[in-house]
Chain A
Amino acid sequence: MQSINILIVGVGGQGTLLTSRVLGNLASDLEYDVKVSEVHGMAQRGGSVVTHVRFGKKVYSPLIEVGKADILLSFEKMEALRWLHYLKEGGMLIVNDQSINPMPVITGAAEYPDDILDRLKKSTAKAIIINAIDIAKEIGNIRVANSVLLGVLAKYTDIDYKNWEKALSRTVPPRTVEINLKAFDKGYNARV
């Protein structure tokens, strides 16, 4: 099989790292070769962050090249647009319908574009837009929005639900397993 390339983007602190680790563990459970590239250090402090997950029969580079991502999972709207050129033609785009203003917007030096969703929809990507924050709030913890998004992503793969459950359970902190599984299920069964 060709490698599967999943790019996860967002704002430092949103939980992209944990999500990429769930995917890494999932691929390793399924006995694929797998590489995950993470961001640590300065960029984690509220900056634009990206993690790469690649798995398949044999994976050399831990990084996805521009134009080669099969799936782009974005935790924030503008970040989806920032990294859109990494998505292959006709690739799948899953976007959390949330905007977080960067400092240049807060200080008035730049404007947050108001047509992001239109621009995303106009691309060749198969775009799914979902408000994972609202769903996470319903469940009772805004911090599990990442598992909601992972559930949405899972629905569009042919990997068994059971395998997802297992990878999620062994990756998230033990006391948050239950609520993360619930969030995942909400995402998996969301009408989008």
Chain B
Amino acid sequence: MELMLGNKAVARGAYEAGVRVATAYPGTPSTEITEFIANYDEIYTEWSPNEKIAMEVAIGASIAGGRAIVSMKHVGLNVAADPLFTVSYTGVNGGLVVVVADDPGMHSSQNEQDSRYYARSAHIPMLEPADSQEAKDFVKLAFELSEKYDTPVLLRLTTRISHSQSLVSLEEPLPFSIKEYTKNPQKYVMMPGMARKRHVFVEQRMKDLAKDSCEFEINRIEMRSEKIGIITSGIVYQYAKEAFPEASFLKLGMVHPLPKDLILDFASRVETLYVLEELEPIIEEQVRSWGIPAIGKELFSVQGEYTANMIEQAISGITVNTQPAEELPNRPPVLCPGCPHRAVFYTLKRLKLTATGDIGCYTLGTLSPLEGLDTCVCMGASIGMAHGFEKVLGKDFAKKMVGVIGDSTFIHSGIGGLIDIVYNKGISTILILDNSITAMTGHQDNPSTGRTIKGEEAPILDLVTLVKAVGINNIHVLDPFDLETSRKVLKNELEKEEPSVIIFRRPCALLDKSKSLPLRIVPEKCKNCGLCLRIGCPAIQKLDEGMVIDDALCNGCGLCERICRFNAMERVDL
């Protein structure tokens, strides 16, 4: 038995299932799945530029005859939704498993959408494991189902499954050979004539699956007391077992399609039936639509995560002994000491610019004291949104605003927005904060880093050439710590009635190998003006004795030194 993260167990399952190809774009809480898969030499693994491409590579691999797995976070599935809905029709050759990790409670996300709706609307079966052992087992089962029923299979995780460790027993990988590929346009070319026939197949497939799933071992009844019956799946099963160990359970391993006859049977054997599911009442509404009385969202929220205490209190009606939390100052996440993004946001603030933002570490620049961003919607949105601002508020306003996006996000889905600006004669100034890594998710490589997920050398995507090819004539590459040049170039570009791109290039502070000595504040020179606090560096604090730099946190980036008017900083000689 090995103690394993849910995401690692998914990777192990892929290995044991004889997967040939694994693809992904990083996104918390799904990122580690593909990082762990990359450790298996037998499996071709890649970071794709975005989730849609990751999905398409996996579909190609599957139709070519190899087993393929593609992983993403819930919002990534929105990006990949286009191929998802149609691969439901084509079906597979080698098995195809799509892993999607939802984030109830939004630990690291911009919304808490429920991916189970995708399974329903794309007519694709979905499995949901409740711990790491199941995560591994369900991946293997998903491949069997995929090939048996000629369908992609969704595997739904949530943050608490992805990022919890539990014990897993390891097995030998299955022998697996690549299936023969034969040309079959009736199955693989989805033109209307073919697609109409395949849709008939899809509907029959889902009916068969719904019927057969009543016999699947992963949908199991655990009869105890007949007073309370609970239908649930995934992590909520674990919370409910803690709260009501004596209740009867119908634990669903497959959350779409639902095993109707099994649910009818279970409902008939218990006095009061509850449906417990985080986020949307998807199981509950289906159960009720079959005329089965069940209690669910009248007791629980569609927001956030459930807990065992919450379930106990809601069902028993008895207040569970819980003390309130203390009122304390918040501790929001912050840009790291030495982060190059901080310098860009300092410059934006000085120029009092409006900024459409994007998804990445730099989204943290929204918070006080930098307050650098006005919007954050989804990957790549900053550029199109800047253009939209201009079309409403006009060119004069566009001269006082920028779009802010990271290197990885620009490659993911920002480039299309830039093409739009050039084509439709916008004048936006777009800032690409290029730290040459996908940082927020834990430093993954991307086409601009020159390395693949396996650590092999790769061609480096040249952002300048790319931007030039799109039709941008005003391109600058700057060091964000050079505040004077940054400010001058930015002011100059904003004035132009043409689009501009400024690439602020400096490596992520956590990866920068060029170490500088930390700084300290010389008390005799410091006038306590507090200007250095305005850059929001966690290493600088105001104490009773005055401004102090924590030399254990400071990485010597020197931004504070550049803005101090009294030359109060000096290098600490360690």
A contact set with B: CB distance below 8 Å: 11-12, 21, 24-25, 28, 33-48, 59-63, 65-67, 78-79, 81-82, 84-85, 100-113, 119, 142
B242 beta carbon closer than 8 Å to chain A: yes
Inter-chain CA distance A66–B364, complex, in Å, is 29
B542 beta carbon closer than 8 Å to chain A: yes
In the assembled complex, 11 residue pairs joining A and B whose CB atoms fall closer than 8 Å, in A order, are: A41-B442, A60-B237, A65-B308, A85-B322, A85-B324, A85-B326, A101-B538, A102-B331, A105-B541, A107-B533, A108-B533
B contact set with A: CB distance below 8 Å: 1-3, 5, 28-29, 31-32, 107-108, 131, 160, 163-167, 235, 237-239, 241-242, 307-309, 320-326, 328-336, 361, 364, 367-369, 440-442, 530, 533, 536, 538, 540-542, 552
State how many angstroms separate the Cβ of B319 from the closest Cβ of chain A: 12
Residue among B235, B237, B333, B336 having the largest count of chain A Cβ atoms under 10 Å: B333
CB atoms of A35 and B165 under 8 A apart? yes
State how many angstroms separate the Cβ of A124 from the closest Cβ of chain B: 10
Not counting A40-B29, A41-B108, a sample of 14 additional A-B residue pairs whose C-beta atoms are within 8 angstroms of each other reads A28-B1, A40-B32, A40-B163, A43-B108, A45-B333, A46-B538, A62-B165, A63-B307, A63-B308, A67-B320, A85-B322, A103-B334, A105-B329, A107-B533
Contacts of B333 in A (CB 8 A): 12, 42-47
CB atoms of B442 and A46 under 8 A apart? no
Contacts of A110 in B (CB 8 A): 329-330
CB atoms of B167 and A34 under 8 A apart? yes
State how many angstroms separate the Cβ of B34 from the closest Cβ of chain A: 14
Contacts of A25 in B (CB 8 A): 3
**Given A38-B5, A41-B440, A65-B307 contact (CB < 8 Å):** yes
Contacts of B442 in A (CB 8 A): 40-41
Contacts of B540 in A (CB 8 A): 106
Contacts of B242 in A (CB 8 A): 60-61, 65
**Given A28-B3, A62-B160, A142-B552, A82-B325 contact (CB < 8 Å):** yes
CB atoms of A39 and B3 under 8 A apart? no
Contacts of B552 in A (CB 8 A): 142
Inter-chain CA distance A93–B32, complex, in Å, is 32
CB-nearest residue of chain A to B325: A85
Contacts of B3 in A (CB 8 A): 24-25, 28, 34, 36
Inter-chain CA distance A62–B167, complex, in Å, is 12
Inter-chain CA distance A140–B5, complex, in Å, is 32
CB atoms of A112 and B329 under 8 A apart? yes
Inter-chain CA distance A62–B442, complex, in Å, is 23
Contacts of A101 in B (CB 8 A): 538, 541
Contacts of A111 in B (CB 8 A): 329
Contacts of A79 in B (CB 8 A): 331
Contacts of A39 in B (CB 8 A): 107, 163
Inter-chain CA distance A112–B543, complex, in Å, is 11
Inter-chain CA distance A28–B165, complex, in Å, is 11
Inter-chain CA distance A34–B132, complex, in Å, is 11
State how many angstroms separate the Cβ of B47 from the closest Cβ of chain A: 17
CB atoms of A46 and B533 under 8 A apart? no
CB atoms of B367 and A103 under 8 A apart? yes
Residue in contact with B329 in the complex, picked from A61, A63, A78, CB distance below 8 Å: A78
Contacts of B328 in A (CB 8 A): 78, 81-82, 113
Residue in contact with A61 in the complex, picked from B28, B238, B331, CB distance below 8 Å: B238
Inter-chain CA distance A106–B445, complex, in Å, is 33
Inter-chain CA distance A3–B5, complex, in Å, is 20
Residue among A65, A105, A111 having the largest count of chain B Cβ atoms under 10 Å: A65
Contacts of B167 in A (CB 8 A): 28, 33-34
Contacts of A40 in B (CB 8 A): 28-29, 31-32, 108, 163, 442
**Given A36-B3, A42-B440, A62-B166, A107-B536 contact (CB < 8 Å):** yes
CB-nearest residue of chain B to A107: B369
Inter-chain CA distance A108–B329, complex, in Å, is 11
Inter-chain CA distance A113–B326, complex, in Å, is 11
CB atoms of B334 and A38 under 8 A apart? no
Inter-chain CA distance A51–B336, complex, in Å, is 21
Contacts of B323 in A (CB 8 A): 66-67, 84-85
**Given A25-B3, A45-B333, A65-B309, A103-B368 contact (CB < 8 Å):** yes
Inter-chain CA distance A62–B307, complex, in Å, is 10
Contacts of B536 in A (CB 8 A): 103, 106-107
CB-nearest residue of chain A to B442: A40
CB atoms of A60 and B325 under 8 A apart? no
Residue among B324, B326, B331, B332 having the largest count of chain A Cβ atoms under 10 Å: B331
Inter-chain CA distance A122–B131, complex, in Å, is 38
Contacts of B530 in A (CB 8 A): 108
Residue in contact with B163 in the complex, picked from A37, A42, A66, A85, CB distance below 8 Å: A37
CB-nearest residue of chain A to B539: A106
Contacts of B163 in A (CB 8 A): 37-40
State how many angstroms separate the Cβ of A90 from the closest Cβ of chain B: 13
Inter-chain CA distance A43–B335, complex, in Å, is 11
Which 5 A-B residue pairs are closest in the complex by CB-CB distance? A41-B28, A41-B108, A110-B329, A47-B333, A62-B164
State how many angstroms separate the Cβ of B29 from the closest Cβ of chain A: 6
State how many angstroms separate the Cβ of B69 from the closest Cβ of chain A: 20
CB-nearest residue of chain B to A21: B165
Contacts of A34 in B (CB 8 A): 3, 165-167
CB atoms of B308 and A102 under 8 A apart? no
State how many angstroms separate the Cβ of B311 from the closest Cβ of chain A: 10
Contacts of B325 in A (CB 8 A): 82, 85
**Given A40-B32, A46-B333, A47-B331, A67-B321 contact (CB < 8 Å):** yes
Inter-chain CA distance A40–B442, complex, in Å, is 9
Inter-chain CA distance A79–B322, complex, in Å, is 18
CB atoms of B165 and A81 under 8 A apart? no
Inter-chain CA distance A101–B337, complex, in Å, is 14
Residue in contact with B241 in the complex, picked from A35, A61, A84, CB distance below 8 Å: A61
CB atoms of B307 and A47 under 8 A apart? no
**Given A11-B331, A48-B331, A85-B325, A37-B160 contact (CB < 8 Å):** yes
CB-nearest residue of chain B to A44: B333
Contacts of A81 in B (CB 8 A): 326, 328
CB-nearest residue of chain B to A99: B541
Inter-chain CA distance A124–B134, complex, in Å, is 39
Contacts of A78 in B (CB 8 A): 328-329, 331
**Given A106-B533, A107-B533, A36-B164 contact (CB < 8 Å):** yes
Residue in contact with B538 in the complex, picked from A62, A82, A106, A119, CB distance below 8 Å: A106
Contacts of A65 in B (CB 8 A): 242, 307-309, 322
Residue in contact with A45 in the complex, picked from B2, B309, B361, B542, CB distance below 8 Å: B361
Inter-chain CA distance A66–B310, complex, in Å, is 10
